[in-house]
């Protein structure tokens, strides 16, 4: 079983990862794009066509595995379930690999994808098992599943953390209800595969300059979906309210960030919008998608706060004001970084990658400098570091808040100010891009 | 801007470009402008059943324009209609009616020739029962019958080119878009290719071709467009393009009397200018008069003692027109 999972998930993943890359490199991808194939058909063709060899190998290994199962007195239903998990898991991973293959250039896609697959393989328990009442999400759990003896779900004693610690079956807790892990995993795989496929299908026949992973509405849907999973399986009982908020806020901000990067417009798009007169010159339109994402972060940040308030398991560290402040600070922070990246991306040559690199370097350097200055140690220093590195707010104690709230407000204002600077830089770039000399078309098209 | 005049206007358009523009970003390191305008407000109307040649120097924007027509690139602005279908709105429907050959491509080396065509026949959603027959037809048309079962990796460059053309026509599209299709073909192959284009055109296909082999184009095309730096310099029927700018006819006379001072004799005649030539065998000159004046000139030449064995009009070649235009005479 393990061997089959290995072959299908890793081998198939790699082949999918290379599928579109190779075609693009050989210049044969265009020929497939000009056929009558609908994007969905093309995507499905790639999804099952690229790893077809691996499916074949799995089929060859199957008799041996089945003999093993019979000898080992495995329950047939679990063996079937294990296959379902492997295949569905493999499909969802292949879909992700296909998406990477489509969007990234070869080196980046392969490195990222291989790293991801290795993590998946080395750590079969890979899952947010510390945060979530959820077992392993890796398809490699199939070999465990095939040896299970009972479908019964047993609520675990509250203290246990590691899910497969024997004796409790494969139980997850969804909104307080125990559910069998296999069912959860199957549903998750299917829905993630659907999301990834949606992105592939949307883009596979497009001009690479016009790739856009999701529409804003779809991005919002994806965000809500992830949140539903997280909130549903969240280990509310294990964490204090403020820790819970910190985790959820951190998660949502990073998600918004990733989606934001995906929504960023490149020069080609902006130029097209201008040329067709579809881009107004207002501030809001010019700053897109930053305001949308800032608002999104605000909303998904406020939801856990509301939940925590309703659940009412609040402790001494919990303060509604601090919680709201955190959300506000994070939204402003996201606004700032997205505006920066959008600006970088609109500059000549589309420097998104460089922008991301600068950003990473910036945070690492700032962290080192502040660390050596021991600014994280003092309440006021902490507030100061938040000007550049807002996550410092997670170390903010309630007592310190009372003393240094003014400094923290300054940090918040600083975020907004920096965001404003990047916003105006971006506006300048846009103005340059849409200048009459730059767009011979705009005038002619209007005439 | 420059729309076609004359007879093609009433025929339905197979390909219609309206205010088509495409701007590329250039990498920051490159010198000069930050962007390249590969198509600058192009307006072009290619009527059905035309063989249309797109001509221009390297980097003129030919490939870019063709890719936009096939829906592979999104235009920065403007609209493309192929067979009445807006390419951007309904790419699959438009693509079903186009056969596209890229300027630079490779094939799947580990497929056999017929498998390759079979794959694309399915991708173009041909009726399964017609596919086998169609593959045989196409292979015969491309002169590849003998290679039906061969692996593509074992084909020569020119054969691959033929197979590429074969792939482009497999689904019998009404419009063919061929980007430098004659590259890599031997002289015989090029002649065969011209015949193929004629034959396809005879079967009612519209063919859009780019090529740097202007002589080939001149023999194949019914219409021509000349572009440079994304701008349309001129477009129209081939005769029209070649005829434009020529007020006097150019004539070549060949004589078989080595001692005769042909150039001097011609230079003294009325209406004759610009005499060039390899005297004493032959000469070229511009002649202002009509046919009867030319006839009397030839008569006088014979009377003067020259053994004239050939008199032929010399047409303007496409090459010259293109060279003249791209030096900036017309913008
Ligand atoms: N992907 C690209 N990125 C940036 N600029 C491009 C890109 N593709 C083409 N260009 C630029 O667009 C212009 C037109 O290129 P195109 O390939 O359409 O020319 P062409 O007429 O086909 O030339 P050739 O005769 O050499 O095939 C050139 O200036 C080229 O530098
Ligand atoms: Mg070209």
pLDDT category of residue A225 using cuts at 50, 70 and 90: confident
What pLDDT shows up at residue A445? 38
Q: Are A256 and A297 in contact (CB under 8 A)?
A: yes
Residues in chain B with CB shorter than 8 Å from the CB of A441 are: 19, 21, 23, 40-41, 76-78
Check B95 against A35: CB less than 8 A apart.
yes
CB contacts under 8 A, B 10-39 vs A, are 19, 21, 23, 25-29, 34-35, 37
| Ligand 1 near B313 CB (within 6 A) | no
What pLDDT shows up at residue B28? 64
pLDDT of residue B265 exceeding 70, the answer is yes
What pLDDT shows up at residue B272? 86
Average predicted confidence (pLDDT) for chain B = 83
What is d(CA A93, CA A16) in angstroms, rounded to the nearest whole number?
Answer: 9
pLDDT of residue A161 exceeding 50, the answer is no
Check A349 against B35: CB less than 8 A apart.
no
Regarding predicted confidence, which is higher, A183 or B207?
B207
Over residues B259-283, mean pLDDT: 80
What pLDDT shows up at residue B52? 93
pLDDT category of residue A1 using cuts at 50, 70 and 90: low
Torsion of CA A112, A118, A119, A125, to 10 degrees: 150
Ligand nearest to the CA of B56: 1
What token pair was written down for A130? 């510390």
What is d(CA B318, CA B325) in angstroms, rounded to the nearest whole number?
Answer: 11
Instruction: Report CA(B267)–ligand 1 centroid distance (Å).
Output: 47
Over residues B219-234, mean pLDDT: 88
User: Domains in chain B, ordered, with CATH?
Assistant: 11-242 (3.40.50.300), 249-315 (3.30.70.100)
Over residues A33-43, mean pLDDT: 82
What pLDDT shows up at residue A212? 77
| Phi, psi dihedrals of residue B312, rounded to the nearest 5° | -140, 140
What is d(CA B117, CA B139) in angstroms, rounded to the nearest whole number?
Answer: 9
Residues in chain B with CB shorter than 8 Å from the CB of A205 are: 71, 91-92
Regarding predicted confidence, which is higher, A137 or B298?
B298
What pLDDT shows up at residue B331? 37
Residues in chain B with CB shorter than 8 Å from the CB of A34 are: 70-72, 95, 98, 100
| Ligand 1 near B56 CB (within 6 A) | yes
What pLDDT shows up at residue B177? 92
pLDDT of residue A263 exceeding 90, the answer is no
User: Tens digit of pLDDT for each residue in A44-75?
Assistant: 888 887 878 888 888 887 777 777 777 777 77
Handedness of CA A103, A106, A107, A111 (dihedral sign): positive
User: Tens digit of pLDDT for each residue in A94-106?
Assistant: 888 888 888 776 6
What pLDDT shows up at residue A166? 44
pLDDT of residue B4 exceeding 60, the answer is no
- Give the chain B residue nearest A39 (alpha carbons): B92
Q: Which ligand 1 atom minimizes the distance to the CA of B57?
A: 25
Mutation target among B67, B72, B124, B153 for the A interface, most CBs of A within 10 A: B72
What is d(CA A39, CA A341) in angstroms, rounded to the nearest whole number?
Answer: 30
Instruction: Report CA(B76)–ligand 1 centroid distance (Å).
Output: 15
Please compute, for residue A337, the number of CA atoms within 13 A of its CA located in the half-sphere on the CB side. 27
What is d(CA B97, CA B14) in angstroms, rounded to the nearest whole number?
Answer: 10
Over residues A169-195, mean pLDDT: 76
Lowest mean pLDDT segment, chosen from A134-138, A326-330, A389-393, B81-85: A134-138
pLDDT of residue A123 exceeding 70, the answer is no
Check A30 against B27: CB less than 8 A apart.
no
Please tell me the residue having the least CA distance from ligand 1 atom 29: B59
What pLDDT shows up at residue A278? 63
Q: Does B105 touch chain A (CB under 8 A)?
A: yes
Q: Please state, for a pLDDT cut of 70, what percent of chain B lies above it.
A: 89
Check B105 against A30: CB less than 8 A apart.
yes
Work out the minimum CA distance from A389 to partner chain B, whole angstroms.
Answer: 31
Mutation target among A40, A205, A441 for the B interface, most CBs of B within 10 A: A441
What residues pair up with B308 in beta bridges, in sequence order? B255
Ligand nearest to the CA of B23: 1
What token pair was written down for A221? 């849907």
Lowest mean pLDDT segment, chosen from A303-307, B43-47, B168-172: A303-307
| Ligand 1 near B62 CB (within 6 A) | yes
pLDDT of residue A168 exceeding 60, the answer is no
Please tell me the residue having the least CA distance from ligand 1 atom 22: B63
pLDDT category of residue A423 using cuts at 50, 70 and 90: confident
Average predicted confidence (pLDDT) for chain A = 74
What pLDDT shows up at residue B182? 85
Work out the minimum CA distance from A404 to partner chain B, whole angstroms.
Answer: 46
Ligand nearest to the CA of B178: 2
Regarding predicted confidence, which is higher, A12 or B111?
B111
Which one of B22, B60, B182 would you pick to mutate in the ligand 1 pocket, going by the greatest count of ligand atoms within 8 A of its CB?
B60
Check A37 against B123: CB less than 8 A apart.
yes
pLDDT of residue A425 exceeding 70, the answer is yes
Ligand nearest to the CA of B54: 1
What pLDDT shows up at residue B213? 86
pLDDT of residue B8 exceeding 70, the answer is no
What is d(CA B101, CA B183) in angstroms, rounded to the nearest whole number?
Answer: 12
User: Tens digit of pLDDT for each residue in B238-254?
Assistant: 877 777 655 567 788 88
Q: Given strand B223-228, what is the order of strands in its sheet?
A: B98-101, B175-179, B206-210, B51-55, B223-228, B231-237
What pLDDT shows up at residue A167? 45
Over residues B87-93, mean pLDDT: 86
| Ligand 1 near B64 CB (within 6 A) | yes
Regarding predicted confidence, which is higher, A214 or B115?
B115
What is d(CA A309, CA A12) in angstroms, rounded to the nearest whole number?
Answer: 46
Which one of B25, B26, B61 would you pick to mutate in the ligand 1 pocket, going by the greatest count of ligand atoms within 8 A of its CB?
B61
Q: Does B86 touch chain A (CB under 8 A)?
A: no
What pLDDT shows up at residue B81? 92
Over residues A418-430, mean pLDDT: 84
- Would you call B282 exposed, middle or buried from its count of C-beta atoms within 10 A (0-12, 13-18, 19+)? middle
Residues in chain A with CB shorter than 8 Å from the CB of B70 are: 30, 34
Instruction: Report CA(B115)–ligand 2 centroid distance (Å).
Output: 28
pLDDT category of residue B178 using cuts at 50, 70 and 90: very high
Q: Are B271 and B260 in contact (CB under 8 A)?
A: no
What pLDDT shows up at residue B246? 55
pLDDT category of residue B80 using cuts at 50, 70 and 90: very high
What pLDDT shows up at residue B136? 92
Domain boundaries, chain A: 1-213, 240-447
Helices (H), B77-127: 91-96, 113-123
Over residues A329-333, mean pLDDT: 85
Work out the minimum CA distance from B98 to partner chain A, whole angstroms.
Answer: 8
| Ligand 1 near B61 CB (within 6 A) | yes
pLDDT of residue B180 exceeding 80, the answer is yes
Check B78 against A445: CB less than 8 A apart.
yes
Check B37 against A440: CB less than 8 A apart.
yes
| Ligand 1 near B55 CB (within 6 A) | no
What pLDDT shows up at residue A443? 41
What pLDDT shows up at residue A165? 41
Q: Say if pTM beats, i.e. exceeds, 0.90.
A: no
Instruction: Report CA(B63)–ligand 2 centroid distance (Å).
Output: 4
Lowest mean pLDDT segment, chosen from A176-185, B66-75, B146-155: A176-185
What pLDDT shows up at residue A126? 46
Q: Which range has the top average pLDDT, A145-154, A221-230, B301-310?
A: B301-310
């Amino acid at each position: 079983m393990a061997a089959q999972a290995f072959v299908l998930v890793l081998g198939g993943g790699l082949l999918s990862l290379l599928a579109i890359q190779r075609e693009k490199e050989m210049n044969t991808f265009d020929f497939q794009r000009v056929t009558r194939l609908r994007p969905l058909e093309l995507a499905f063709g790639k999804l099952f066509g690229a790893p077809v060899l691996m499916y074949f190998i799995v089929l060859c290994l199957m008799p041996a595995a089945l003999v093993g199962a019979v000898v080992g007195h495995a329950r047939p239903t679990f063996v079937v379930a294990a296959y379902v998990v492997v295949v569905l898991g493999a499909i969802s991973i292949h879909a992700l690999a296909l998406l990477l293959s489509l969007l990234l250039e070869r080196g980046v896609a392969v490195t990222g994808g291989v790293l991801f697959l290795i993590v998946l393989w080395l750590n079969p328990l890979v899952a947010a098992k510390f945060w979530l009442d959820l077992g392993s999400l890796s398809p490699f759990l199939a070999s465990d599943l095939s040896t299970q003896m009972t479908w019964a779900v047993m609520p675990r004693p509250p203290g246990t953390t590691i899910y497969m610690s024997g004796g409790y079956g494969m139980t997850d807790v969804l909104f307080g209800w125990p559910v069998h892990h296999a069912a959860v995993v199957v549903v998750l795989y299917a829905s993630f595969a659907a999301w990834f496929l949606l992105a592939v299908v949307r883009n596979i026949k497009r001009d690479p300059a016009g790739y856009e992973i999701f529409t804003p509405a779809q991005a919002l849907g994806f965000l809500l979906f992830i949140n539903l999973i997280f909130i549903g399986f969240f280990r509310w009982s294990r964490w204090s309210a403020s820790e819970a908020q910190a985790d959820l806020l951190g998660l949502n901000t990073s998600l918004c960030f990733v989606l934001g990067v995906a929504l960023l417009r490149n020069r080609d798009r902006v130029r097209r919008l201008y040329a067709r007169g579809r881009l107004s010159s207002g501030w809001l339109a010019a700053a897109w998608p930053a305001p949308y994402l800032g608002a999104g972060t605000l909303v998904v940040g406020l939801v856990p706060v509301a939940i925590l308030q309703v659940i009412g398991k609040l402790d001494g560290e919990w303060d509604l004001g601090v919680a709201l402040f955190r959300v506000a600070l994070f939204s402003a922070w996201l606004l700032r970084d997205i505006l920066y990246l959008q600006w970088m991306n609109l500059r000549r040559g589309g420097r998104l990658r460089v922008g991301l690199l600068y950003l990473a370097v910036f945070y690492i350097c700032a962290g080192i400098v502040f660390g050596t200055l021991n600014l994280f140690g003092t309440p006021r220093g902490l507030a100061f570091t938040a000007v550049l590195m807002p996550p410092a707010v997670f170390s903010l104690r309630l007592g310190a808040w009372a003393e240094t709230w003014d400094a923290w407000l300054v940090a918040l204002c600083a975020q907004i100010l920096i965001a404003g600077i990047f916003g105006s830089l971006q506006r300048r770039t846009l103005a340059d891009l849409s200048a009459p000399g730059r767009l011979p078309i705009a005038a002619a098209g209007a005439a | 801007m420059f729309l076609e005049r004359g007879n093609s206007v009433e025929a339905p358009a197979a390909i219609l470009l309206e205010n088509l523009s495409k701007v590329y970003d250039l990498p920051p390191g490159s010198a000069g402008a930050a962007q390249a305008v590969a198509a600058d407000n192009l307006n072009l109307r290619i009527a059905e059943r035309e063989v249309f040649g797109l001509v221009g120097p390297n980097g003129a924007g030919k490939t870019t324009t063709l890719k936009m027509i096939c829906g592979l690139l999104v235009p920065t602005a403007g609209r493309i209609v192929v067979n009445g279908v807006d390419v951007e709105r309904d790419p699959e429907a438009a693509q079903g009616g186009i056969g596209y050959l890229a300027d630079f491509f490779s094939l799947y080396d580990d497929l056999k020739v017929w498998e390759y065509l079979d794959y694309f026949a399915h991708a173009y959603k041909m009726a399964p029962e017609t596919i086998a027959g169609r593959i045989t037809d196409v292979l015969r048309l491309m002169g590849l019958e003998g290679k039906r079962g061969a692996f593509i990796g074992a084909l020569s460059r020119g054969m691959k080119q033929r197979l590429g053309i074969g792939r482009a026509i497999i689904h019998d599209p009404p419009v063919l878009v061929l980007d430098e299709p004659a590259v890599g073909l031997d002289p015989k192959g090029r002649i065969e290719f011209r015949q193929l284009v004629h034959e396809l055109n005879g079967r009612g296909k519209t063919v859009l071709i780019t090529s740097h082999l202007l002589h080939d184009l001149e023999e194949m095309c019914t219409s021509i467009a000349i572009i440079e730096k994304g701008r349309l310099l001129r477009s129209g029927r081939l005769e029209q393009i070649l005829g434009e700018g020529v007020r006097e006819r150019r004539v070549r006379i060949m004589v078989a009397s080595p001692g005769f001072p042909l150039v001097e004799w011609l230079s003294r005649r009325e209406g004759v200018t610009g005499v060039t030539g390899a005297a004493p065998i032959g000469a070229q000159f511009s002649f202002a008069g009509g046919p009867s004046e030319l006839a009397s000139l030839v008569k006088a030449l014979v009377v003067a003692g020259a053994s004239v064995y050939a008199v032929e009009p010399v047409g303007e070649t496409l090459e010259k027109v293109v060279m003249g235009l791209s030096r900036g005479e017309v913008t």
